[in-house]
Amino acid sequence: MTKKTATVNNSLARAVEAIESANGDLTALFDKTGQLLKGMKEHRSVNNDPSLKWLSTVLSQGSCGDADMMVSPEGDKVWILRISDYYLASFLPDGDAQKRRAKDVFREALPLISKVAGGEAVLFDSNGILFESVCPDSEGIRKKGAYTPFGHQAMQTGIPSIGPSVIEDGAVAVRIPVNEQFGVGFNNFISVKHRKSLAQSARTHARYTFDNIVGESRSLKEAKERALKVAPSASTVLIHGETGTGKELFAQAIHNASPRASGPFVAINCAALPSSLTESLLFGYEGGTFTGARPEGQEGLFEQAHRGTLFLDDITEMDLSVQARLLRVLQEREVLRVGGKKRIPVDVRIIASTNRDLKEMAEAGSFRKDLYYRLNVVDLRLPLLSERTEDIPLLCRTFIAACKKGFGAFASDISDEAVQCLQRYAWPGNVRELFSIIERTMNLTMHEIIGIEDLPLLLKKYPHGCGSIDLSEATEDAQALSERDRIMRALASENQSRIRAAKRLGMSTATLWRRMKRLGIPVRQPVSSL
């Protein structure tokens, strides 16, 4: 081989590499005999590829000019250029090859699309069936093979669309048909979920005062008096009470009776928050800390409650890791945002609530002991409605007036017989359940005075016109109902003291405990006296 021929060969070899890279490995260099010298050699064999075998034959026969465009029997288009004693052949990319490369590009881009959009990014086929899904939140990933109706619609029409996301109400999804084979879609459900959690879980205004707490029973009066005493201080308050006893009502009343009344009242239900969001909601975050985060960052609830009150409802549902950070804030009076380095001073009063035995949880290790002692500065226990049945007449008439004002109901009062029936019910849902019963009755009755016949059937089919326990326990006989009724009334009259209640009932404390356990009567601590 001459020096000139070798130079041409090397130059062509480098040209083949460049064209090969740009053209998807579809470029090759042949000699005049049709032998494959460079390109596609590692990927395709003349003997195994019909188009290459045809091209080798054509070149070996000298059937090609200096520059020709030819089509193989398989339909592959190839451009052939003769340079000295060599042929440079370039197969033109067919549509399917381009589509495959486009699909690979979008596969690699899905994580980036998902991060920027703040949600899920997917690829779907011509029938709207998912074949790829990427999402930072594992709850948002849909399985391969899932059907996306809006994606199918975009593929049918060939028009990009924007509309609601099927994952989260209020989130927006975009569906784009890339070609007739597949399309790409993405949504912003993580960002929307974060904003909704903040908006729904936090309230910044206290509407209620102690005047809104209705009742004249001894146990309720004791709770109100104790709350009024601690309201002027900045001490942390821990409110114990079962569902529906009015824990947030008391928290708002304490705030409005305190020197912080002009400041914000921020309430958050720890049980309603995804654990992954609790920390960023409480303490805030710096911009770009996680997917879906605001670029400018977000202040947390502690900052929002500065010079006011932060009410942590159902605090027992808070993760242990978040409890550790909460304890530090309570001790240091400063917060560190998630992803931040600067500590921010806060002046916040904490009121927490629970419907569980927090001390018992602390002893068992499911709640931090040090946080329990830090929260339990002032202990406030709210009575059950079954412990203050004398308040039911006043509560009923208060709720009737509120419903009549709210939606113009027909009834304006309740009969003494209906009240007595309600007083014989155990009220597992407490005051909230009573309000629901009154509201339901007000919507359905056509009488001006609510009678026993107007009350829900659930309340009327048990002895004495109303059940004396949770009425879902339909298997208990009348004797059990009567025994449970006597025990609960004795406990209520003795401020939940089992020793005094047992003496009143004429039995030992151990016997009373066994009967309470058999009848499903919860063992409660006595309501704290002042």
The DSSP secondary structure of 190-211, one letter per residue, reads HHHHHHHHHHHH-B------GG
The DSSP secondary structure of 305-360, one letter per residue, reads TTTEEEEEETGGGS-HHHHHHHHHHHHHSEEE-BT---EEE--EEEEEEESS-HHH
* Torsions phi, psi for 168 (to 5 deg): -140, 130
For domain 3-93, say whether CATH 3.30.450.30 is its number: yes
pLDDT-based confidence at residue 240 (cuts at 50, 70, 90): very high
List 378's β-bridge partners, or say none: 237
Number of other CB atoms surrounding residue 45 within 10 Å? 12
Arch. (CATH architecture) of 386-519: Orthogonal Bundle (1.10)
What's the CATH fold of domain 97-192? Beta-Lactamase (3.30.450)
Q: What is the pTM of this model?
A: 0.54
Looking at the chain, which residues constitute the CATH 3.30.450.20 domain(s)? 97-192
Contacts of 407 (CB under 8 A, 6+ apart): 442, 443
| Contact indicator for 349, 258 with CB cutoff of 8 Å | yes
Looking at the chain, which residues constitute the CATH 3.30.450.30 domain(s)? 3-93
What is the per-residue pLDDT for 390? 93
Contacts of 347 (CB under 8 A, 6+ apart): 306, 307, 333
Structure confidence by residue, pLDDT tens digits, 221-230? 999 999 999 9
Q: Which CATH number fits domain 202-381: 3.40.1620.10, 3.30.70.3270, 3.40.50.300, 3.40.50.2300?
A: 3.40.50.300
| Contact indicator for 98, 106 with CB cutoff of 8 Å | no
Nearest to 359 by CA among 378, 375, 374, 372: 372
Structure confidence by residue, pLDDT tens digits, 75-121? 677 878 777 778 888 776 555 556 666 787 788 888 888 877 778 89
Structure confidence by residue, pLDDT tens digits, 339-353? 888 899 999 999 999
What is the per-residue pLDDT for 529? 30
Nearest to 282 by CA among 238, 240, 330: 330
Average pLDDT over residues 430-437: 91
| Contact indicator for 423, 468 with CB cutoff of 8 Å | no
